[in-house]
Structure 1
Amino acid sequence: MFTLFLRYPLYFGSLQGVSSLGINYGQLGNNLLPPEKVLDLLSALRITKARIYDNPQVLTAFANSGVELMVTIENAMLGQLSNPQAAFQWVTSHIKPYVPATKITSIAVGNEVFTDDDTTVLHSNLVPAMVSIQGALAQLGLDQYIKLSTPCSLAVLQESYPPSAG
């Protein structure tokens, strides 16, 4: 992803009429830049939003940066986080310590759950996990600042072209 930005900096630097630009900041790969360098790169490219997987180093590095973060919970965690106590513990240890210094604006619960092969288990855990996490955010007074969502693949659409048909 960052290779694209490095090859075409003029393109990304010349976007006009765009109020904000965001990226999906993945952590899988070799020779990844440290989070502090990534933050410098995002700032240089005027990128103001990023989606990350739960990573304490990134959350710490992005403190006081102004970059809005969406923290993603992996699909494998949905069953565990369906339990309200587990969800409260997760929010208490993975989100609360970083707020308000790190601008966490949303939590993505799962990733493309509706396109996974293990549909019965994931589908049955998604809504309960979201309810439990929302309850934990409310208990901690964070529900007015941090919203929940679940990313969906475009594959969930029967017809996606033209866009008006989906």
Structure 2
Amino acid sequence: MSIIFLLVGILSIGLKLTAVESIGVCYGMIGNNLPSRQDVVNLYRSRGINQMRLYFPDEQALQALRGSNIELILDVARETLNSLRNANEATNWVNRYVKPYARDVKIKYITVGNEIKPYDSEAQSILPAMQNIQNAISAANLQGQIKVSIAIDMTLIGNSYPPNNGVFTDQAKPYIQPIINFLKNNGAPLLANVYPYFAYINNKQSISLDYALFRQQGNNQVGYRNLFDAQLDSVYAALEKVGASGVKIVVSESGWPSAGGDSASTDNAATYYRNLINHVRNGTPKRPGAIETYLFAMFDENQKTGAATEQHFGLFNPNRTPKYQISFN
């Protein structure tokens, strides 16, 4: 009997070692035809999607998430960032949107700033706001559950190819270096929005569609078989150059539009999402191992502004039927 228990224990350890990160999905709400928050949470659960990103602290969504066991990235709304330079305002934010839910909503990260550029008016508020939110989280004794971070985009990275040459741009470095130091000191990951789609359409003369869609056959001259790995490893290279090689990257957005622009089609989007889900189990050449990844986005958002593609990143239609046949885990 003891041998059986020993074998079971060894098997369970093996299963833990080979477990992969589950795939998350970003829940954007910029639409006038979307399901109720409770219906959305039910859809996450029915499809086995165990991680969500929420772009502002929507209290109806937080209520619907109670007891769902869905891990959550909770963003600070952009228009709130500057106010959180005030420590009392940051404490009030945590007291309103975090403490009442922390027992039965699995808030994993708080994102203080999404794709804020060094020249944006909010840029000078990011680090003080992060520090104030961190202090408020610690005062609430939630620092073991929740990490405070920021989500960047690829515009902060220069010399991104070959990936080992990745570096934060001269303009970005004074802005991002103290933030990276904060992440390192607090054991928090850096969140990065990684979009091969945009890199591809902006540089089609050098990048093939197959390379962007994980369909490249064979290695290229620097050993990368897909654009996603090359982009992500350029961020890791940039972190190494500022003394933060131990900081983990969470891919907080990645997706492909199904309509509205160049190479935006349901076939290409379905190919990208399926191949991404399969690929992130294994990691990149610089960082083998599962990559915590959030697909963008749950629904098409018909009120988003900007390029027409912005309205066509949804994995599901507003009536909750799937746009693609995808297994999330």
TM-score range, shorter chain: 0.7 to 0.9
- What is the aligned counterpart of 1:77 among 77, 80, 83? 80
Of stretches 60-69 and 155-164 in structure 1, the one that deviates more from structure 2 is 155-164
Displacement after TM superposition at 1:75 (Å): 2.1
| Secondary structure, aligned partner of 1:29 | coil
Moved over 6 A (4+): none
RMSD of equivalent CA atoms: 1.6
Which of 108, 112, 117 matches 2:111? Answer: 108
The structure richer in helix per residue is 1
Alpha-carbon distance between aligned partners in 1 of 2:32 and 2:164, rounded to the nearest angstrom? 40
- CA distance in 2 between partners of 1:82 and 1:22 (Å): 30
Report if the CA contact (8 A) 1:108-1:150 is conserved: yes
Question: When the two structures are superposed, what TM-score results if normalisation uses the length of structure 2?
Answer: 0.43
Partner of 1:157: 157
Letter in 2 for 1:43: R
Where does residue 59 of structure 2 map in the other structure? 56
Contact 1:73 1:110 in 2 (8 A): yes
The corresponding residue for 2:35 is: 33
Structure 1: unaligned runs, 5 residues or longer: 1-16
Deviates more, 1:144-153 or 1:33-42: 33-42
- CA distance, structure 2, for counterparts of residue 160 and residue 138 of structure 1: 36
Report if the CA contact (8 A) 1:21-1:46 is conserved. Answer: no
C-alpha offsets along residues 79-130 of structure 1, whole Å, 9 cap, x if unaligned? 1001111100110011111111111111010111126xx52x3221100000
**Normalization by structure 1: what TM-score?**
0.82
Q: Which 5+ residue runs of structure 2 have no aligned equivalent? A: 1-18, 166-233, 235-329
Q: What's the CA shift string for 1:14-35, capped at 9, x where partnerless?
A: xxx7430101101111211111
Q: d(CA) in 2 for partners of 1:40 and 1:143?
A: 28
SS in 1 for 2:105: coil
In structure 2, do the counterparts of structure 1 residues 18 and 144 end up closer, same or farther at CA, with 3 Å as the change threshold?
closer
| Number of positions where the alignment pairs a residue of Structure 1 with one of Structure 2 | 147
Determine the structure 2 residue equivalent to 1:126.
126
The reply on whether 1:20 has 2:22 as its aligned counterpart is yes
